[in-house]
Amino acid sequence: MSKHKYNKYGPQVSISAKEGLTLEVLKLAEKAGAQAGQATAKEHLYQSIARGSLLNEQQTDELLAAAERAGAAAALAAARKVLDKTLRTSFRPSHYAPPAPGAASDAAPAAAQETQPYSETYEEPLARYSPPVSQVEAPRHKIDQHVLTITRVQKLSDQLVRLVASAPKLDGYRSNGALDEYVKVYAADPALGLVPPYDLRELRQRLPREQVPRSKSYTIRWIDPVVDELAIDFVLHGEPGTVGHWAGTVEPGAALVISPARSKTSIQLGADYYVLAADEAGIPAISKILETLPEHAQGVALLEIADERAMFDVKHPQGIVLRWLSRDGVPAGRSDVLAEAFQTLAVPRQGLGVVAHAERSTVKAISRICDRWNLSKRSSHISSYWTLREGRLMR
């Protein structure tokens, strides 16, 4: 058996020709797949930039899926090219002519018998048949979702509802302990009869886009490991098929499908004075911070809501002043009440901490105000939770 030495793969070792070919195939397939996936992702991103639009979460998922398909196809093509070229010449049996029919096996010279390696050293080719790439199903995307059962539906206000869900050991869900811990929630049309966890890649290939389960990011409000429960607060909005609409119609016993835990920042609660601000989309995250602050905390929380009926009880330290800001009928994303209230605040110059989550244009206005306050990056956590689009809300 021929031997090859590969210095690139760790210490110098001797491997068989078959193993060497496998390493070479994997190396070329990985390179081709990465290049094709990157090219596809760039193409879609450039098209998005040219249209002057930003990708939402669903479009981002579709972009990654397209890049994965392109990478898998390129990897298979590269592997097949190497195999088609190599397998015709590799791992052939040694030159051996079988005895003529009727010849006695014991008539062969002893020396010839010792040099006939056919039955001992012959190796089957790695593949007898290489189908076209178009006929090879690409590897399936890894399904990484946790499926819980909704046990309680709590209406916090006219615009906000809390879903409490449970599963034995939370179906493997593990909290990351971050203050801004969030997950993607996947919602499917019950009429389609889809069974979670969802293979989104397969569903995108066979279902119209409007029937593929939607997904949006939501803050984990709390987790109770003793009874294996977690809670998520949802803003009730959107048309049928959106996650916000689903949350307003779902009942106990339905499935709550979520992604693994995620977080973007490491919020530190060590300020002397806090300024917290949010519209409905960010109120759950701000509420979680208010419940976590120490009893001696000082500051103000600006909470934008549609009207006075949207107010609800929020636990908070006595030193934090809650200010509910009503839009009085102005649609979400088109009101300046949050930025205007932020502008009029009298805040200390030292020991200030700011956390703000709202619509993109509001967040930009708040960021400009904070720039004049000369806050350090560690003292401010300001992020856009959604973007107002023409004719619809993308949340």
200-247 tens-digit pLDDT: 999 999 999 999 999 999 999 999 999 999 999 999 987 788 899 999
User: What's the pLDDT tens digit per position in 33-64?
Assistant: 777 777 767 666 666 655 555 666 666 767 77
Task: Decide if pLDDT at 12 tops 50.
Answer: no
* Angle 146-152-157 from CA coordinates, rounded to 5°: 110
Report d(CA 365, CA 341) in Å as an integer: 11
Confidence of residue 31 (pLDDT cuts 50, 70, 90): confident
Report d(CA 42, CA 34) in Å as an integer: 12
Burial of 97 (C-beta count, 10 Å sphere; 0-12/13-18/19+): exposed
Task: Decide if pLDDT at 128 tops 90.
Answer: no
Give strand ranges (E) for 225-350: 229-235, 255-258, 273-278, 299-305, 320-326
Report d(CA 213, CA 198) in Å as an integer: 8
User: What's the pLDDT tens digit per position in 306-317?
Assistant: 998 889 999 999
